[in-house]
Amino acid sequence: MSKFDLTMPKMGESITEGTIINWLINEGDSFEEGDIILEVATDKVDNEVPAPKSGTLVKTLFKAKDVVPVGQVIAVLEVTTSESKKVVTSSAVETLPKKQKATQQKPQPKSGGTPSSSSSSSFSTSNSNTFFSPLIQKIAKEQHISFEELARIPATGHEGRLRKSDVFNYIEDGRPYKFAQPVTQDPTAYRIPQLKFDKGKGKIIEMDRMRQMIADHMVYSKHTSPHVTAYVETDMTNMVNWRNANKKAFEEKYGERLTFTPLFVEAVAKAVKDFPNINASVDGNNIIVKEDINIGMATALPSGNLIVPVVKNADQKDLKTLAQNVNDMANKARENKLGGDDIKGSTFTISNVGTFGSVMGTPIINQPEVAILALGIIKKRAEVMETEKGDEIAIRSMMYLSLSFDHRVVDGFLGGSFVRRVADYFEQFDINREI
């Protein structure tokens, strides 16, 4: 054991002093490396000061609410020397299973190392400023957070170390880097500011398994795909009038309700066939253009959760079969009877946000697809129509389409052309079509 002077850390370029909030370790108490010894406040943020090594707090030189200049000694510690730590490490290795022992006995750098890099109780990544204390490792184990995910959490501790509050804030934010690819942290790179939001008080509702999966999928999609949304307005009058005139006869002939959804699926499948690159996914540096056109339909469940049943090979089916498939999927969804095959294999997804009265939406892409189409509410409006007699005002059934696409592989020309083609198929619907 050796004496160690704990100084007031520098917590920013413009910070020259800090105020001790409180001591978390009392004189005579022992602590582990990385444990928080005290909390310090500056004019910008509160900080936790971790123990640089394991040991005992011998004496505090300042008390709570004292203002101390940066670099001033604030406490005297008795810490474990590097030699004694090596003895502990070697004895601990002897008691480990062979496989784990081999992992712990990997050769360490002969120079430039620190005591923490040779300790079996610490973990470091390629970023030399990233350190995971035993406390952080314990929290990560309890929360099932891997070391790779820990390495992606923005750290605000001294010298870039990860603090307990960083981990808990990250968990409360929904673990946004859970699926991110590991990267080497650049100390000069932009860091997410550690903002302390007031979450307020109220009823706490634990997410069910499906809601957790939806949350993870949505966050993953936003972090994976740079979303761009294109909007188009379309005249639905022909389709609306045809459906109103034929829905009763259609149900009597085929025993199936004729909603707008199979008509939407039919037109979207035709447009996908015209622009096959919209029917794709990304695999590393490769684009996979799918042969099958399988249209997913975002559907709300009675529980309020969301699910996407799939109409397989939609481009090869007539309106009767599409209506059967759509109605069957909708009934299964309402009764919670959808099977695994019913929700797999979609290559392009539509979301009928108009069902809930929404004029338009900015949908999140259903990974691994590269685009998703939202269909707004159909509303009657006075529109200026160009006729042989000139401009006239007429009452038309209008709808907004919004296409969110992955700008990694879909550019504005493709995205805009595709959504415009869907709108054209809606507008040019054959009013004399036979059922």
Question: What pLDDT is attached to residue 131?
Answer: 54
Name the nearest CA neighbour of 125 among 83, 167, 160. Answer: 160
Q: What is the 3-state secondary structure (H, E, C) of the chain?
A: CEEEEEECCCCCCCCCEEEEEEECCCCCCEECCCCEEEEEECCCCEEEEECCCCEEEEEECCCCCCEEECCCEEEEEEECCHHHHHHHHHHHHHCCCHHHHHHHCCCCCCCCCCHHHHCCCCEECCCCCCEECHHHHHHHHHHCCCHHHHCCCCCCCHHHCCCHHHHHHHHHCCCCCCCCCCCCCCCCCCCCCCCCCCCCCCCCCCCCHHHHHHHHHHHHHHHHCCEEEEEEEEECHHHHHHHHHHHHHHHHHHCCCCCHHHHHHHHHHHHHHHCHHHCEEEECCEEEECCCCCEEECEECCCCCEECCEECCHHHCCHHHHHHHHHHHHHHHHCCCCCHHHHCCCCEEEECHHHHCCCCCCCCCCCCECEEEEECCCEEEEEEEEECCEEEEEEEEEEEEEEEEECCCCCHHHHHHHHHHHHHHHHCCCCCCCC
pLDDT at 116 over 70: no
Q: For the full predicted model, state whether its pTM sits above 0.85.
A: no
> Among 7-16, 30-39, 46-55, 245-254, which is the least confidently predicted range?
7-16
Q: Are strands 295-297 and 348-351 parallel, antiparallel or unpaired?
A: parallel
Question: What pLDDT is attached to residue 99?
Answer: 36
> Among 3-12, 85-94, 205-214, 345-354, which is the least confidently predicted range?
85-94
Kindly state the tokens that stand for 431: 């009013």
Q: How do residues 277-313 score in pLDDT, each as one tens digit?
A: 999 999 999 999 999 999 999 998 888 888 999 999 9
Question: What pLDDT is attached to residue 105?
Answer: 38
Question: What pLDDT is attached to residue 394?
Answer: 95
Question: What pLDDT is attached to residue 189?
Answer: 64
Question: What pLDDT is attached to residue 187?
Answer: 67
Question: What pLDDT is attached to residue 96?
Answer: 36
d(C-alpha 393, C-alpha 350), whole Å: 32
pLDDT band at 95 (very low <50, low <70, confident <90, very high): very low
Q: Which residues are catalytic?
A: 407, 411
d(C-alpha 404, C-alpha 54), whole Å: 52
Of residues 189 and 129, more confidence is placed in: 189
Residue 418 near residue 278 (C-beta atoms within 8 A): yes
Question: What pLDDT is attached to residue 352?
Answer: 96
Kindly state the tokens that stand for 271: 């447009």
* Type of residue at 351: S
Name the nearest CA neighbour of 374 among 235, 230, 259, 237. Answer: 230
Question: What pLDDT is attached to residue 172?
Answer: 84
Question: What pLDDT is attached to residue 190?
Answer: 62
Of residues 54 and 400, more confidence is placed in: 400
The sign of the dihedral angle between the CA atoms of 278, 281, 287, 292 is negative
Of residues 143 and 299, more confidence is placed in: 299
* Type of residue at 138: K
Name the nearest CA neighbour of 332 among 299, 294, 369, 290. Answer: 299
> Among 147-151, 208-212, 293-297, 344-348, which is the least confidently predicted range?
147-151
Tell me the backbone φ, ψ of residue 304, rounded to 5 degrees: 95, -10
Residue 229 near residue 404 (C-beta atoms within 8 A): yes
pLDDT band at 244 (very low <50, low <70, confident <90, very high): very high
Q: Across 90-99, 125-134, 227-236, which has the greatest mean pLDDT?
A: 227-236
Q: How do residues 316-347 score in pLDDT, each as one tens digit?
A: 999 999 999 999 999 998 888 888 889 899 99
Question: What pLDDT is attached to residue 73?
Answer: 93
∠ Cα 410 260 244 (to 5°): 145
Percent of the chain, pLDDT > 70? Answer: 81
Name the nearest CA neighbour of 236 among 434, 432, 431, 435. Answer: 431
Mean pLDDT of the chain: 83
β-bridge partners, 394: 383
pLDDT band at 18 (very low <50, low <70, confident <90, very high): confident
Q: How do residues 366-410 score in pLDDT, each as one tens digit?
A: 999 999 999 999 999 999 999 898 999 999 999 999 999 999 999
Percent of the chain, pLDDT > 90? Answer: 49
pLDDT at 121 over 50: no
